[in-house]
Chain A
């Protein structure tokens, strides 16, 4: 059994593809359901944690600029740590992640 880091990213910048309030509403409900399921199934290695959405981004040692939303097209939406036997299994778990509804990506990194 290993720990796997799942990083969620999606495009927050391109105007036309941003979700409407209604879509966000549903999207949020799907996240709640998915996280709930993971917790129930004991797949979370670490409790779901809030990460500040604004944050900072530093470039070449330059003073930090306002958060991911300001500069990067694909920003980190969040991250969780799960337990899984293998990358294959981690993928199977990640497959149901709601980020895909908004054309986002999931990056999976095994803990060493």
Chain B
């Protein structure tokens, strides 16, 4: 052997491109045919490359084989090809034979069309995220199940039901018309943010999987910025937000799997490139006069990339939270803002604000109150930490609570 090495992630990256073009071409009702052709292509690659070696241009090889397999399918199903040709004629593309266009432009167009298709509000947000992982990102059912700590059958059913619903609604695989674009885009951003959050906050222990999910969410959001119609300020804001959060990915969990709180993170492990990219996108988001919630969250995240513990930083963050809450109130966001309030106005005021929220079943609520009461009321702090421990969702959260409890005992 000893010749060309197969790059990791090559298959997934190329799968994402080819599957979008073929599903775009075949339409929702023949989605499984498109998926089968693409799977066959990679299967052929795996079988042939093992003994024959990796080709010099793996991408071109895969594209050629996918094209050939599609042509063979269309040849054997002439009536289907005729139908596709007729559809293309309706779209003013004059062709005798269906062309499988794997140009950079068509790949981009197809992926954008697919993003809108997958993020269609007729299916639930959970289903949108799973479908996005499957169809847009090339994740297998097993991989998705692992990411959500559930089993294959659940994901398999969820994905199939989602596809059935899209078929039942005769969803067209295309970008929405300009009047619809604004509202549809809102939903797309919601789903992409959800996908990112699943990766960032997820219960799944596998850091590689979670990083992949965040990276995929960012890649898809970035795709939106590459096309004029969808390159809106709030899209840049969301992308900035994702960059800022991701920059701390490596610093958030220790080698032993312990979660490390922001205040204790090693700044050296923060990814400077991502922070800088985030700043770049935040600047682009400053165009126009609409301040979306993504703008505010991105600005808050921006301040968190400055480690220095200055009063000015926390004042900015507090102001931003207040603005965010007036635009998009939720108890959880309010809870997140309490820490900034504590930094600016002290524990007593923060405690009052927090207790008003009364999020008694929320792990973070109790963990925060435990921290706030530490200096003034050790008994209350202990109770809150114990409650937080019982409500912990992940091993990492448990460990932090045990640590806090241990420290209180020792003090």
- Residues in A lying within 8 Å of B, measured CB to CB: 12, 16, 18-29, 31-32, 35-36, 39, 48-51, 53, 69, 77-78
Q: B51's contact among A20, A25, A29, A50, by CB below 8 Å, is which?
A: A50
The total of chain B residues at the interface (CB under 8 A) is 31
A25: chain B residues at CB < 8 Å are 6, 8-12
CA distance A22 to B299 in the complex (A): 35
A29 in contact with B1 given A24-B11, A50-B48 (CB within 8 Å): no
B45: chain A residues at CB < 8 Å are 24, 28
Contact status A31-B50, CB under 8 Å:
yes
CA distance A77 to B140 in the complex (A): 21
Q: B139's contact among A20, A28, A50, by CB below 8 Å, is which?
A: A20
Q: Which residues of B, 132-161, contact A by the 8 Å Cβ criterion?
A: 138-143, 152, 156
- Beta-carbon contacts of B8-40 to A below 8 Å, as 1s and 0s? 111110110000000000000000000000011
Contact status A36-B11, CB under 8 Å:
no
CA distance A37 to B27 in the complex (A): 45
Contact status B6-A32, CB under 8 Å:
yes
Cβ of A32 to closest chain B Cβ, rounded Å: 6
A23: chain B residues at CB < 8 Å are 140, 142-143
Q: B140's contact among A22, A32, A48, A78, by CB below 8 Å, is which?
A: A22
CA distance A15 to B46 in the complex (A): 17
User: Does B124 belong to the interface (CB within 8 Å)?
Assistant: no
Cβ of A108 to closest chain B Cβ, rounded Å: 19
Contact status B152-A16, CB under 8 Å:
yes
Cβ of A51 to closest chain B Cβ, rounded Å: 8
Cβ of A19 to closest chain B Cβ, rounded Å: 7
